[in-house]
């Protein structure tokens, strides 16, 4: 086992953890919060593992001080959280503001800052207000203006203290799973159609919010705004699959990154492929991939940093013979798991830390010299709780080693790393059955006690960030699990 080279990480590197409102807060109907699409989706039954819901989750709405203790215990420099849109604007619009909701986030933000922790706030992490879904959700064109008003309200209310903003989390996942496959809220299954409309309105909403910040708030607040894009790293399964791999990348990261960082429009070949297939399939109602209007602010240049969520990688197989009207049909490619990559917990999470290094280099080479934040990355457990989570520890160590190499050997300007997640939480359609936390949460008792997983407590990856962040040397004797070693980390290249 080799240690992480901490000399690779700059002194002001952000060492954080991330969470999302619906996954941790609970308090779903407390103090005037309006319902979100995830409340509806869970309460319907039959949608989520064990019919679990986020009604209580980690109860962070009432137990915020417990979360803060966790953050302090880890010595995090940053904490990424999301605002529940319907907690502060119960019907999604600024016509009705819920003061108790605003008070909650003020308390969270103020206590983070008082503890020396920099907040990064996501405005929308999957939990659209139900009232807006009732008007068509992300498929309605008006939502872009509604989101802009909500974002402006948050900038105005919290922006004196919050300087790092993410408008939308993972538009790809929300459009695909919410509108194509229907396995995430709002549960719409409309293959090959709504997915592009939803994605388009998300980009319009993001662009409007960024422009609002840039014009009205940046001059006095001086913060930064981006959107968090998720992407697997993708490699061809065989030499024959090279073109399919290009398409796979285009239809995942490039779909959203190209309009924002490159051209102001979707990748040329994505557009022509969708248009050609529409013709072939006899689809006559114009392009399925919408066009950006010249009368609206362009998405181009609407990100002050690149925020990427990385979990896993795929080998890509050509699927160009597929004749279905669907997103995968348009993409003409399919991702499979390389059998040499271990699965950690949940079935889709094949561990390949090298993929993160390759993805970071791809982002740098393809898109941008703006700084990159890794806004999510993590490792899950399933089944009986293992407080002695040796594999997770090894995962973080291997991953941070790859991030270090991306910085020091590939010259990628990585500014921060946020582990997903601070706490075990409501893992969407997997309910509480999949645990991503650095802290275990005991969902079987009403106290919802948080307990640091063993490895996080002891192992070197955590010392890496403590050392880098605090400048203190940490000596660790690693004695859990199969792999044994004793490693001394000293602050390196600080300054």
Nearest to 299 by CA among 259, 332, 327, 272: 259
CB 36 within 8 A of CB 132: no
CB 133 within 8 A of CB 188: no
Residue 279, SS3 per DSSP: helix
How many chain residues interact with ligand GBH (CB under 6 A)? 14
- Choosing from 235, 376, 397, 427, the catalytic residue is 376
Q: Which residues contact 169 (CB under 8 A, 6 or more apart)?
A: 20, 82, 122, 124, 125, 126, 227, 228, 309
CB 418 within 8 A of CB 18: yes
Dist. CA 175–CA 194, nearest whole Å = 8
By CB under 6 A, tell whether 227 contacts ligand GBH: no
By CB under 6 A, tell whether 173 contacts ligand GBH: yes
By CB under 6 A, tell whether 4 contacts ligand GBH: no
Query: From residue 346 to residue 375, what is the string marking binding to ligand GBH with x (rule CB under 6 A)?
Result: --x---------------------------
Residue 242, SS3 per DSSP: helix
By CB under 6 A, tell whether 230 contacts ligand GBH: yes
Describe the strand order of the beta sheet including 233-236 as a list of residue ranges: 233-236, 313-318, 333-336
Compute the least distance from the CB of residue 183 to ligand GBH, in Å: 6
By CB under 6 A, tell whether 170 contacts ligand GBH: yes
Residue 268 a catalytic site member: no
Scanning 7-15, 166-174, 207-215, 381-389 for contacts with ligand GBH by CB under 6 A, the matching segment is 166-174
Query: From residue 283 to residue 312, what is the string marking binding to ligand GBH with x (rule CB under 6 A)?
Result: --------------------------x-x-
Half-sphere exposure of 478 (CA within 13 A, CB side): 25
Scanning 26-34, 169-177, 277-285, 322-330 for contacts with ligand GBH by CB under 6 A, the matching segment is 169-177
Compute the least distance from the CB of residue 54 to ligand GBH, in Å: 11
Q: What is the CA radius of gyration of the chain?
A: 22
Closer Cβ to ligand GBH, 119 or 335, answer by number: 335
Q: Which residues contact 208 (CB under 8 A, 6 or more apart)?
A: 144, 145, 147, 148, 151, 296, 297
Residue 170 a catalytic site member: yes
By CB under 6 A, tell whether 424 contacts ligand GBH: no
Closer Cβ to ligand GBH, 59 or 458, answer by number: 59
Closer Cβ to ligand GBH, 273 or 450, answer by number: 450
Closer Cβ to ligand GBH, 5 or 427, answer by number: 427
Catalytic residue annotation: 170, 376
Positions that interact with ligand GBH (CB under 6 A): 20, 23, 169-170, 173, 183, 230, 309, 311, 348, 376, 420, 427, 436
């Amino acid at each position: 086992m080799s240690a992480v080279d901490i000399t690779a990480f700059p002194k002001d590197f952000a060492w954080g953890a991330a969470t999302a409102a619906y996954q941790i807060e609970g308090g779903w109907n407390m103090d005037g919060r309006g319902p979100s699409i995830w409340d509806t989706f869970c309460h319907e039954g039959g949608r989520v593992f064990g019919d679990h819901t986020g009604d209580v989750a980690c109860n962070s709405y009432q137990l915020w001080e417990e979360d803060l203790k966790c953050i302090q215990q880890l010595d995090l420099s940053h904490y990424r959280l999301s605002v529940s849109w319907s907690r502060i604007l119960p019907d999604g619009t600024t016509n009705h503001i819920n003061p108790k909701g605003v008070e909650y986030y003020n308390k969270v933000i103020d206590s983070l800052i008082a503890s020396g922790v920099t907040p990064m706030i996501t405005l929308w992490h999957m939990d659209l207000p139900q009232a807006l879904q009732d008007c068509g959700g992300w498929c309605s064109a008006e939502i872009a203006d509604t989101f802009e008003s909500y974002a402006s309200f948050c900038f105005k209310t919290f922006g004196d203290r919050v300087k790092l903003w993410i408008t939308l989390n993972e538009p790809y996942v929300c459009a695909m799973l919410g509108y194509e496959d229907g396995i995430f809220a709002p549960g719409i299954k409309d293959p090959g159609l709504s997915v592009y409309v939803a994605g388009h309105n998300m980009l319009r909403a993001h662009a409007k919010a960024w422009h609002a910040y840039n014009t009205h708030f940046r001059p006095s607040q001086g913060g930064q705004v981006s959107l968090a894009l998720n992407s697997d790293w993708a490699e061809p399964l065989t030499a024959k699959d090279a073109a399919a791999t290009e398409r796979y990348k285009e239809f995942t990261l490039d779909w959203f990154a190209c309009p924002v960082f490159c051209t102001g429009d979707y990748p040329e070949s994505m557009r022509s492929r969708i248009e050609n297939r529409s013709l072939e399939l006899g689809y006559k109602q114009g392009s399925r991939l919408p066009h950006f209007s010249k009368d609206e602010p362009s998405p181009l240049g609407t990100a002050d940093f690149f925020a990427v969520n990385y979990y896993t990688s795929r080998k890509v197989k050509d699927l160009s013979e597929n004749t279905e009207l669907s997103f995968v049909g348009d993409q003409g490619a399919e991702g499979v798991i390389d059998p040499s990559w271990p699965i950690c917990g949940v079935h889709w999470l094949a561990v390949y830390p090298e993929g993160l290094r390759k993805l970071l280099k791809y982002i740098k080479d393809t898109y941008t010299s703006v700084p990159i934040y890794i806004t999510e990355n993590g490792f899950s457990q399933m089944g009986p709780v293992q407080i002695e989570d040796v594999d997770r520890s090894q995962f973080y160590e291997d991953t941070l080693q790859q991030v270090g190499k991306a910085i020091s050997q590939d010259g990628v300007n990585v500014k921060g790393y946020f582990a997903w997640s601070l706490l075990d939480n409501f893992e969407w359609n997997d309910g509480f059955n999949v645990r991503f936390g650095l802290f275990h949460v005991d969902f079987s008792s009403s106290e919802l006690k948080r307990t640091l997983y063993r490895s996080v407590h002891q192992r070197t990856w955590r010392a890496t960030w403590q050392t880098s962040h605090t400048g203190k040397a940490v000596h660790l004797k690693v004695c859990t699990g199969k792999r044994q070693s004793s490693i001394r980390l000293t602050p390196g290249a600080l300054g």
